Structure 1
Amino acid sequence: MRHLVFVKRAMWSFLFLLLIAGCDDGEQALPPPSAEFEASERNIHIWDVVKFNMIPGDNEVDAEWRFEGGTPDHSDVTEPEVLYKIPGEYGVKLTVRNEAGETTIEQQRYIVVNEYDNQYGVLTDPRDEQTYKVTVIAGQYIMAQNLNFDDGKAVHYDNDPDHGEVYGRLYTWEMAVDACPPDWRLPTRSEYAMIREYLGGEYTAGGKMKLPGTDHWEEPNEWATNSSGFSAPGSGGYMPGHLEFYSLGESATYWTKTETIYGNAWSMALMTKNGRMAIQNTTDKSQWFSVRCIKD
């Protein structure tokens, strides 16, 4: 009898151990995390934003992204948005984790970032049927010629209409904010700053925006290549009662839409003596400068 009891106890102990072992095996059999990802676009231009989407498996996971060449260059959200500023081919790496461990998925050369080719389109102003070249810089459609719209007050340099075709007209700030064609407007300070960063920074961007040579600039016209397609001539300025018309071929100043807290307006300026693209906040609104319009 004692022997039978012992056998029964041994059997129950064995079954209990098998049950525990089975549970342990079940925990060990928990599958490692898995995930896939996709991008809203893979072949893009500089300054485009790509949205990434993680497609998780059955298990809840934590995500860690790495974006080569992107801004930001890392993220821990499920659907990050990434800005690419520099041409090239860039990889994406995703690591997912859960209690069972982690899995890393890496795609080399996953995002291809291209330069803009600066091919010109054409804008026809419906108010007077004048046409203007349009280019794309930093993802923005912007006029590649100075505005020449006659609002009844804007002037040509030296009041000479022959200057209009190349240099356009000069406007005060109050006139400039209403001067652009329908669906176009003055660029903001931030938009010109974005263009400047795209073109390499303050001290090199200006040369990439100026027409080269000395047909429309005085010497030395430093660093002028017009590689951006902006095609700025040295259009000068106008200050009635003071300097009158001044600096033709020496400088070009463009209004922005942005006002300062001091009652002035921000402007963007280029000069013949260097390759700088200056963005300045000391411009009196009563001065007369050039206008470029950006697509709204």
Structure 2
Amino acid sequence: MAIRKILLPLAGVASARGALSTALMLAGRWGAHVHAFHVRTDTRDVAPLAGEGLSGAMIEEMMASTEKEGHSEARALAALFEAETGARGIAVGAPVRAADGAVRASSARFESVIGREEELVAGEARLSDLIVVPHPKSAEEVASADALHAVLFDSGRPALIAPAGVPETIGARIAIAWNGTAESASAVASVLPWLAEAEQVRIFHSEDYQRQGPGADRLAGFLELHGIAAEIAAFRAIDRSVGAGLLAAVTEYGADLLAMGAYSHSRLRQLILGGVTRHVLEHATTAVLMNR
């Protein structure tokens, strides 16, 4: 299945640059439409703070400040969007087709709305082929991580965590982290369009990472049915960290895209005890395609 619509949740300019460059680069590759989506805080959400001892005047001041900041951020993001699309020659507006009408040309639009980011992003994501999310550590905005979790837990769609910088390529050398789970199978299904065009594909597995389910050799056989030749490589945990071992192996391989399942254990358990997903989110320098 080709990628035709890319959702790009944007929280602020600092975290937007790498993700916007990534999304527009992919739009040019796939002939896709990018929906850059900015959610401003609803000032009415500030009102409940009145119950915590704040006066009416203080609440009104907070609401006015929140609204002002939201409009300022929206204008800055719109300017960045206009500059990046212009530099890449990508049409701005509704999705378009090429002159012959047979191939969809890349296009993009920017939208800023008011509401709760987690709810709105999850809803928009459900009718998108791919969601490009800013790297959680690329800026101070916590919202970039909130958008990622909204996609992973409440959309049923794949999330591509963009590198903090501007990548030269994505999808030429693909690494697949396989552990036999439903989450990793979902990631493989989402990355199939990329695998068909990749120069090289390698499946990474480990005894420390494997769960109950088919092994890496069976995944290689499945991919072969799709005309995809994949190498198989084992990796080891580093200092008892499976995530560190995986990223070290992926980096040595020179991958520009890692596909993996997310949160095989509960998110709460990973937040408290750590886990592969958490480690990858915090330390990956390459693009990561995640599914849950």
Same fold (TM over 0.5): no
More helix by share: 2
Please identify the structure whose Cα radius of gyration is greater. 1
Determine which structure has greater relative contact order: mean sequence separation of CA pairs < 8 Å that are 6+ residues apart, divided by chain length: 2
TM-score range, shorter chain: under 0.3
Structure with greater proportional strand content: 1
